[in-house]
Amino acid sequence: DIQMTQSPPSLSASVGDRVTITCRASQNIISSLNWYQQKPGKAPTVLIYAASTLQSGVPSRFSGTGSGTDFTLTISNLQPEDFATYYCQQSYSTPVLTFGQGTKLEIK
């Protein structure tokens, strides 16, 4: 089974900051990595798919990079609405999909 490890588990930042969240796969997953944002009490929404493709309607301050085993989600110029929990998800082992443990982004 492919394991996904996200870091850090939590992160404090201020409005206007630039933050990076990382996700590491236990084996090569090429670019089959997606990023989701989840706000309290709400369903997740996809931000980035195929490692670096921005979902339609998502602000360009979100970006994703990586391939193989190491991936990053970067949020530039943090906005108040960006404080949420972020999850990575691999689909290389489809039909089985695996999520990372999540990173909670909090206001400093």
**Whether the Cβ atoms of residue 51 and residue 62 lie closer than 8 Å to each other:** no
The β-bridge partners of 85 are 38, 104
Cβ distance 108 to 11 under 8 Å?
no
Binding mask 59-88 for another protein (x = CB under 8 A): ----------------------------x-
Q: Nearer to another protein by C-beta: 16 or 41?
A: 41
Q: How far is the CB of 15 from another protein (least distance, A)?
A: 26
* Contacts of another protein in 4-63 (CB under 8 A): 29-32, 34, 36, 38, 42-46, 49-50, 53, 55
Structure tokens at 100: 């990372």
Amino acid in the structure at residue 89:
Q
H or E segment at 11? Answer: strand 10-13
For another protein, which is the closer residue by CB, 17 or 24? 24
Q: Is residue 98 involved in binding another protein (CB under 8 A)?
A: yes
What CA–CA distances, in Å, run from 107 to 5, 59, 68, 79?
A: 23, 19, 31, 10
Binding stretches for another protein (CB under 8 A): 29-32, 34, 36, 38, 42-46, 49-50, 53, 55, 87, 89, 91-92, 94-102
